[in-house]
Amino acid sequence: MKIILEPRAMQGLADEVRSRAGRIAFVPTMGFLHEGHLSLMREGKKRADTLVVSIFVNPTQFGPQEDLDAYPRDFDRDESLMREVGVDVVFYPTDKDMYPKGYQTYLTVEEVTRNLCGKSRPTHFRGVATVVTKLFHIIKPHVALFGSKDFQQLVVIRRMVEDLNMDIEIVGCPIVREPDGLAMSSRNKYLSEDDRKEALAIKEALDRARELYRNGERDARALVEEAHRILDLHPGIRIDYVSLCDAGTLSDIETIRAESVMAIAAFVGKTRLIDNCVFLAPDEEAI
């Protein structure tokens, strides 16, 4: 497993792989790896002969009051997990190499970033779109893999790749959960023992909404209200949003007609967690 720190060196390696008709799969991460990240890497290995993983805690996607400095980091542990999975190349740049002095170019994806996390984190997706574009130019992948835990991020990346004619296949992968249902996240490390129990209400709210949907409820407000009711039973939880949106446009909907997503963001103690559940269109949903 090669560890590459500099963008130019990474570009050279990508050129070399491409010159011998090799195929590059890419998994971008912020490190502090867990099974969710590893599932993307395993899928990437199936789809290419060279698997590149980036580890970069991207400062431009954090707001001024957010957890950039506290974000958990453990490169040694990440390194051994990546060796086990069979990662070929780790791209591990510094902030300075990614955003040198004088840096001033950013990318904005407009409509799909307005709702959900875009409301409470107004500069987040500008940072995500910018860094992912930079990483795409540095790593030159044929295929890139993203988790649907960050559902809006996946929609934003798909939109950006299509709008800018980027010749990269985007693969969305399922949410990996702890045995009790909590979606895996590097930020789960922040949770106290009590927080950890409270956090389960997020999955419970999604499951209950899904159950109502499967029983025939199509009124989005009824599902959102039920999710609110469940979360409100937990004093340790402060809701950021509960939304039911069209899965393609991410606009709020009133009635579920096409594929839609219930997305939740909530603070458990000081930790902001997100999770979601996709409802297939009524005629596709297997009952």
Provide the annotated active-site residues.
Answer: 37
Shortest CB 153 distance to ligand AMP, Å: 6
- Binding flag, residue 186, ligand AMP (CB under 6 A): yes
Burial of residue 32, with CB atoms counted within 10 A of its CB: 0-12 exposed, 13-18 middle, 19 or more buried: buried
3-state secondary structure of 5: coil
- Binding flag, residue 36, ligand AMP (CB under 6 A): yes
Please work out the total of residues on this chain that contact ligand AMP, with binding judged by CB under 6 A: 17
Phi, psi at 26, each rounded to 5°: -135, 130
Shortest CB 187 distance to ligand AMP, Å: 8
- Binding flag, residue 263, ligand AMP (CB under 6 A): no
Contact, 88 vs 124, CB < 8 A? Answer: no
Residues whose CB falls within 8 Å of the CB of residue 244, separated by 6 or more in sequence, listed in order: 209, 220, 223, 224, 252, 253, 256, 260, 261, 262
Among 161, 175, 244, 265, binds ligand AMP (CB under 6 A): 175
Shortest CB 139 distance to ligand AMP, Å: 14
How many CB atoms within 10 Å of residue 116?
Answer: 25
d(CA 124, CA 114): 11
Helix 151-163, helix 124-139: angle, nearest 10: 60
- Binding flag, residue 113, ligand AMP (CB under 6 A): no
Among 9, 176, 212, 258, binds ligand AMP (CB under 6 A): 176
d(CA 121, CA 156): 14
- Binding flag, residue 37, ligand AMP (CB under 6 A): yes
Considering the complex, state which of residue 126 and residue 149 has its C-beta at the smaller distance from ligand AMP: 149
Task: Give the residues across from 274 on adjacent strands.
Answer: 265
Shortest CB 58 distance to ligand AMP, Å: 8
d(CA 246, CA 51): 33
- Binding flag, residue 141, ligand AMP (CB under 6 A): no
Q: Which stretch binds ligand AMP (CB under 6 A): 176-184, 192-200, 216-224, 247-255?
A: 176-184
Nearest residue to ligand AMP, using CB? 147
Among 13, 29, 52, 91, binds ligand AMP (CB under 6 A): 29
In a 13 Å sphere around the CA of 223, the CA atoms on its Cβ side amount to: 32
Considering the complex, state which of residue 7 and residue 36 has its C-beta at the smaller distance from ligand AMP: 36
Contact, 82 vs 33, CB < 8 A? Answer: yes
Considering the complex, state which of residue 160 and residue 256 has its C-beta at the smaller distance from ligand AMP: 160
For residue 136, give both structure tokens: 């795409």
Among 87, 184, 191, 253, binds ligand AMP (CB under 6 A): 184
- Binding flag, residue 150, ligand AMP (CB under 6 A): yes
- Binding flag, residue 190, ligand AMP (CB under 6 A): no
3-state secondary structure of 210: helix
Contact, 112 vs 155, CB < 8 A? Answer: yes
- Binding flag, residue 79, ligand AMP (CB under 6 A): no
Binding region for ligand AMP (CB under 6 A): 29-30, 36-37, 39-40, 146-147, 149-150, 173, 175-176, 183-186
